[in-house]
Structure 1
Amino acid sequence: MRKNFIILALLIAISQQSFTFIDQTNFYKQLEPLTDFYSETGYVGVNDLENGNNQFFYHLFLKEGISKLSDVKKDDNFILWLNGGPGCASLMHIFQNVGPYHAYKKGDKDYSVKKGLNTWNKVAHVIFIDQPFEVGLSYSNPHRNVGSSDLAGLYLVEFFRIFFQQRPQFKQTKFYVFGVSYGGHYVPAVGAALAKSNLEMNFQGVAIGNGWTDAFLQYQSYAPMLYSLGIFNEQKKTFTENQMAKAQADVLNGQYLKSTFDGFAGIFYILTKFTGQISPYDYQDYLNEGFGEDLFTEFINQHRKQFGAPDDLIYQPCNPEVEKNFEVDISVTQKTNVEFLLNQGYKVMIYQGSRDIICNTPSINYVLNQLEWKDIYEWKKQTKYSFKAKREDFDVEETAGTIKKYKNFYYATIYNAGHMAPNNLPIASLKMVTHFLNDDDIWN
């Protein structure tokens, strides 16, 4: 980490940065008249001596009802959203209840958006960044191969150094880093890098949803979890236990690449072989159901020129070449950065959709119970409380999940949700985010 920081600092210190943006407010108002907030897209160039043109794409949405940048207030909440993969674009979550819209097909090869009812810009300004380079609408020329979460975090520090220079009204907002899936790696790395930086900002903390954080600890969850659900029989359980034990041994021996193949790739192979069409992201779904990628992919590509993307850049939700760059990083822990943030007093929330397989609830508990945090024993003593929320199609509140909180550490479980909890239960997810941002002890 220290070596990466020194190298990156030297490269960037003698390079040129760039910032371009396009006001998208009227564009969205034409598509969806209910739009009542400012939005913009842009590119931030974080260039170094090795690569002359590294461009991060971002999409910013102000909180509902705020139509001008000059109306951003000091104590507003400001969320950075990061997707996982590794190699998947954050931009897709604009259309999955984190961002303000849903994409739909309006006509032949014509796609539009409608406003979501329970989106996170009800309670915060939200910025989506496609990262690292070569993901989504971000690019580099020549290609900059980022292959570790720590290095990705340092590049995002430089992104915000430039962004805050151009958008100084955000410096004093309450800034949080949120992410999902491989965000369990990205978010702690970015959070720790921001906390250690000299940026003038009001960094508050992080939140990780269904995160991949520590391969060694999480590998051991699959066999007992799938056996308890009745998906595995005794033979399949034993086979999986043996395979995951190999992956854990690889980590202990420092063979991280081998561990990724034995464990991370191995569990996807096992799930396909032993469970047929059950989705690794929700054991009540099937592999072909997906997250609506076709709709938002078509919308983004139809309007990518409007967003300011180069003519020859085609948006794709995930880039397998970037995932390949992270094959070692997948099995390297980010638990230490979670511990650093907790021990420094930053707010940390771990939240979990209960139906996920790949980043399942037992796997997260293995990580949480091993955290080296000064208050971990007191946190373990705390009672889990249930909280209630409505579903979008029903007017009756029901138990939506549980929350356990002690000091700056929150752990929330959302029932009847998979890997992408805001997709499955948007009202409960928004309620969770609201209480976290407000430091609420009572969620009902």
Structure 2
Amino acid sequence: MKCFIPLKLVSILPLFIHTLFLTANVFAIPAPRQDSSTSSKYDIVSSNLCDANVKQYSGYIQVSPSTHMFFWFFEARHNPKTAPLTLWLTGGPGCSSLNGLFVEVGPCKTENNGSSTITNPESWTEVSNVLFLDQPSGVGFSYSDDVYNVTSSEQASADMYKFLQLFFQRFPQYSKLDFHIFGESYGGRFATSLGKYIIDSNNKYENGKNEKTKINLKSVGLGNALINFLIQWKSLTDFMANNSYVSINETIINQMIDAWPACEKATTKCNQEKLANVCLRAVDVCAGSNTSYASYYSNTGLSQYDVRAPVESMTSVLSPDYVNYITKPDVLQEIGANSKIKYLVCSGRVGLNLYPELPLDFSSELEFLLENGIGALIYHGDADWICLEMALNLNWKCKSKFSSAPMKEWSVDGTSAGQVKCADNLSFVTIYNSGHEAPADQSKAAFDMFTKWISNIKIE
């Protein structure tokens, strides 16, 4: 069978889910690809684009005989030898991390329809070395010479871990730095999965069973991340009824409430059986038909990523100005990108390959990181519906402590920027007046949050 996702539901699924067809073949969610090859290839250049005042490298690292992963790395503007290293992962699944670079946290932004760039004074490179990675293979400028389809976050983590090992071999000066992984939207799943993969690999290192470089993982940052499909999708109706920006027709809210039990049942079955056809059925029941749970949200005419904006604003998400800039022949050459690759902000093929795991609960991976002392910063824009219930539901040693912790106001330069709730190594931050891409909407607040977090300073 095939499940059709109507175009008007573009705004309902995580950032990228702008695809049309879901192929529901029966297969188990696969384990990572096992690649015994030790061959590697570096095709890396250094330019002075975006920020001419820092060292930067971009290009490809070959993680298998056929798979080439594109990255763009910038040293920190201050104290790069001691500043931490942050890996940025955009979600989708299937969206390029260069969107995070140019639209959100990178050292420059584009102007004049992408004809030129301007400095971003609130770039996260002010305080951290930052690595933007296009992954999985097939996303952005990353590619494979053969047909290689990543079909799970665990499989993507194996490739990312191989990439990091090769990156540190090529640039050993960054291998001992504190390491943070920030993932936005579906990238939160990539971040937690990679974090667990790193901890497991580090444990082998400590037991003398792993010759790889030990990665000094300190934290994961999850921006408007989809971690627990069941809890977070259910919370959409609460957000619609109680958000502080717009009043939504009560009939639509009641329609969603009535449609929820079927979505809940299908999602629960997906998590129990973990079969692709079962999980795709859950996506269909929850968002695939004109009477599904999430379909009613489209009747509001509002963007799911920002309740303040009309649904038509979603088109700008997939056609930002920076695409015009990075696809210019001279820029492609400067950054070492393969000019034969058609750059897309989001890849439909990669998104389809990862669709079966969409309804799966990734809470256990986040709980694993918390229990192993890894910090977790969960942040969201208050005009986006990804919310607190997911964090409260995490089962870890400080669950009750976090639950009872007060939600405190957080200010930046004397102005209220949001709210913070924290306990032990978990912090939850709400950023006022921002949507799904919170750092793009409130760059000063996001920069303050990030700077304090990686510096182990209380966000307040």
- TM-score (normalizing by structure 2): 0.84
Aligned pair 1:382/2:405, yes or no?
Answer: yes
The residue aligned with 1:93 is: 100
Q: Specify which of 331, 350, 354 is matched with residue 322 of structure 1.
A: 350
Distance 1:206 1:374 in 2: 18
Residue ranges of structure 2 left out of the alignment (5+ in a row): 1-27, 203-212, 271-277
Cα distance in structure 2, aligned partners of 1:298 and 1:129: 19
2:63 maps to 1:56: no
Alpha-carbon separation, structure 1, partners of 2:50 and 2:157: 31
Structure 2 residue aligned with 1:287: 311
One-letter code of the match for 1:270?
A: Y
User: Which residue of structure 2 aligns with residue 183 of structure 1?
Assistant: 187
| 8 A Cα contact 2:140 2:344, kept in partner | yes
Aligned length: 407
Deviations 1:231-287 (A, max 9, x none): 443332222123332222112222211112222555663322x112x1111111123
- The amino acid across from 1:240 in the alignment is M
Distance (whole Å) between structure 2 residues aligned to residue 2 and residue 280 of structure 1? 28
Q: In 2, are the aligned partners of 1:77 and 1:125 still within 8 Å (CA)? A: yes
- Whole-angstrom CA distance in 1 between matches of 2:432 and 2:267: 32
Contact 1:403–1:410 under 8 Å retained in 2: yes
Cα gap change, 1:292/1:233 in structure 2, threshold over 3 Å: closer, same or farther? closer
What residue is the counterpart of 2:88 in the other structure? 81
8 Å CA contact 1:219, 1:244 repeated in 2: no
Q: Following the alignment from structure 1 to structure 2, what is the Cα–Cα distance between the partners of residues 421 and 179?
A: 12
SS in 1 for 2:220: strand
* C-alpha separation in 2, matches of 1:264 and 1:158: 35
In the TM superposition, 1:305-344 aligns within 5 A as: 305-344=333-372
Where does 1:2-81 land on structure 2 (aligned, <5 Å)?
Answer: 4-5=31-32, 7-8=33-34, 11=35, 13-25=36-48, 27-28=49-50, 35-47=52-64, 52-65=65-78, 72-73=80-81, 75-81=82-88
Distance (whole Å) between structure 1 residues aligned to residue 100 and residue 175 of structure 2: 24
Would you say 1:249 and 2:265 are equivalent positions?
Answer: yes
Q: Is 1:205 aligned with 2:219?
A: yes
The question of 1:369 aligning with 2:387 is answered: no
Q: Does the CA-based 8 Å contact 2:107-2:125 persist in structure 1?
A: yes
1:108-187 matched pairs, under 5 angstroms = 111-187=115-191
Runs of 5+ consecutive residues of structure 1 not aligned to the other structure: 30-34, 67-71, 391-396
Deviations 1:61-100 (A, max 9, x none): 111146xxxxx42x42110000011111001111123101
Match of residue 214 from structure 1: 228
Alpha-carbon offset, residue 105 of structure 1: 2.3
Match of 1:394 in 2: none
1:301 corresponds, among 327, 330, 341, to 327
What is the CA distance between 1:291 and its match in structure 2? 4.3
> What do residues 37-66 of structure 1 show as CA deviations (whole Å, max 9, x unaligned)?
11111201111xxxx410110000111146
SS for the counterpart of 1:220 is helix
The aligned residue for residue 347 of structure 1 is: 375
Which of 232, 246, 250 is the equivalent residue of 1:234? 250
Name the residue aligned to 1:69: none
Q: Which moved more, 1:411-420 or 1:221-230?
A: 221-230
Identity of aligned residues (%): 25
Offset of residue 130 of structure 1:
0.5
From the superposition, tell whether residues 183 and 337 of structure 1 become closer, same or farther in structure 2 (CA, over 3 Å).
same
Distance 1:389 1:160, change over 3 A: same
Instruction: Please tell me the residue identity of whatever aligns with 1:205.
Output: S
What amino acid is the match of 1:61? Answer: F
Matched, 1:424 2:450: no
Moved more, 197-206 or 405-414: 197-206
What amino acid does structure 2 have at the position aligned with 1:186? F
Q: Could you tell which deviates more after superposition, 254-263 or 157-166? A: 254-263
In structure 2, C-alpha distance between the alignment counterparts of 1:84 and 1:292, rounded to whole Å: 13
Alpha carbons 1:351, 1:413 under 8 Å: kept = yes
CA RMSD of aligned residues (A): 2.1
2:239 to 196, 219, 225: 225
Find the aligned partners of 2:112 and 2:198 in 1 and give their Cα distance.
39
- Counterpart Cα distance in 2 of 1:183 and 1:114: 26
Counterparts of 1:212 and 1:262 in 2: how far apart (Å)? 18
Tell me which amino acid in the other structure corresponds to 1:138.
S
* Aligned counterpart, 1:413: 430
Question: Structure 1 length as normaliser, TM-score?
Answer: 0.87
Question: Could you tell me how far apart the structure 2 residues matched to 1:437 and 1:283 are?
Answer: 30
Distance 1:269 1:133 in 2: 31
**Residue in structure 2 matched with residue 393 of structure 1 by the alignment:** none
Distance in 1 (CA, whole Å) between partners of 2:293 and 2:326 is 32
Report SS of the residue matched to 2:104: coil
